[in-house]
C-alpha cells in the first residue's frame, strides 16, 4: 500500500486530498495543528491523524518520526499547509510578515527536510508543493502572499534538479481560485484604519475578486489533480 503525508489536512484541499487518496487505497498521514478537533477523517480506516504545526520545528520532527515509525515507508509528501495575508504592504506588521513566511515558506522547507533522509535512503519519493496562480502572476494588495508563493516556485524548481539525480521527484501544484474556506479563516486582512488612502483601491480589488469567478474550482477537483500528479 502506497502512503502519503499531507500537511494542512484539517480543511480545504488538504482534507479533500486525504479522502481521495484513501479512496484510492493509499495509506494517509493527515497532519494538522489540532487533530483533536477532527471528526470526519477519523472515520476512514486508512487515514491516520498526526499533530503537526509547520511553524513549530519540534512538532515537525515529532510528526515525521511518528509517521515513519508507523508507516515504515512514505512515498509522497504533500506540502499543502498555508494561509494568505492580504492588504497593503505598508499595513502589514512585522509579526504578520513573519507568520506569512514561516507558514508558507520556511515550514514547507522544514517538512521537506524532515522527510529527505528517508527518500534519499530509498532513492525514491515525491514532494508535491502547493503553490498558486499567485506564484505565476500578481495582483495588488497580496504582495506578501505572492512573495511566499514565488519563493515556493523557485525553491521547488531548483530542488527538482537537485534531487532528481537521487531518484526523488519534486512537483508544483498551482491552483487558481478554489471554493474553500481560504477566503475565510485562512485569509488575514491587514487594513488598519489609520491608512485610509488605500481603502478605495482595496475595496475595488475585493469587489472585482468576488465577481471574477476565481473561486470556481472545488477542493475535490484539486484532489483529483494532485492524485494524477503522483
Which residues are the active-site residues?
A: 131, 145, 149
Half-sphere exposure in the Cβ direction for 64 (13 Å, CA): 21
Q: In which residue are the cell numbers 522527510 written?
A: 115
CA distances from 88 to 82, 156, 181, 208, 215 (A): 19, 27, 22, 16, 22
Contacts of 80 (CB under 8 A, 6+ apart): 6, 7, 8, 9, 13, 14, 17, 130
* DSSP, residue by residue, 10-54: TSHHHHHHHHHHHHTT-EEEEEES-GGG--TGGGSTTEEEEE--T
Amino acid at each position: 500500500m502506497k502512503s502519503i503525508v499531507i500537511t494542512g489536512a484539517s480543511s480545504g484541499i488538504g482534507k479533500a486530498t486525504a479522502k481521495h487518496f484513501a479512496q484510492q487505497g493509499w495509506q494517509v498521514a493527515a497532519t494538522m495543528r489540532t487533530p483533536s478537533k477532527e471528526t470526519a477523517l477519523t472515520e476512514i480506516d486508512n487515514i491516520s491523524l498526526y499533530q503537526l504545526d509547520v511553524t513549530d520545528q519540534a512538532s515537525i520532527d515529532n510528526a515525521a518520526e511518528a509517521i515513519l515509525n508507523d508507516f515504515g515507508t512514505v512515498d509522497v509528501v504533500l506540502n499543502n499547509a498555508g494561509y494568505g495575508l492580504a492588504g497593503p504592504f505598508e499595513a502589514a506588521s512585522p509579526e504578520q510578515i513573519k507568520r506569512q513566511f514561516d507558514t508558507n515558506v520556511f515550514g514547507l522547507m522544514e517538512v521537506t527536510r524532515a522527510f529527505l533522509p528517508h527518500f534519499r535512503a530509498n532513492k525514491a519519493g515525491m514532494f508535491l508543493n502547493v503553490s498558486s496562480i499567485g506564484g505565476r502572476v500578481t495582483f495588488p494588495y497580496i504582495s506578501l502572499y505572492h512573495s511566499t508563493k514565488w519563493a515556493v516556485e523557485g525553491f521547488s524548481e531548483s530542488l527538482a534538479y537537485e534531487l532528481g539525480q537521487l531518484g526523488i521527484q519534486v512537483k508544483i501544484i498551482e491552483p487558481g481560485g478554489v471554493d474553500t474556506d481560504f477566503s475565510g479563516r485562512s485569509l488575514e486582512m491587514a487594513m488598519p484604519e489609520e491608512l485610509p488612502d488605500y481603502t478605495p483601491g482595496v475595496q475595488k480589488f475585493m469587489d472585482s475578486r468576488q465577481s471574477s469567478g476565481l473561486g470556481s474550482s472545488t477542493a475535490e477537483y484539486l484532489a483529483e489533480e494532485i492524485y494524477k500528479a503522483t
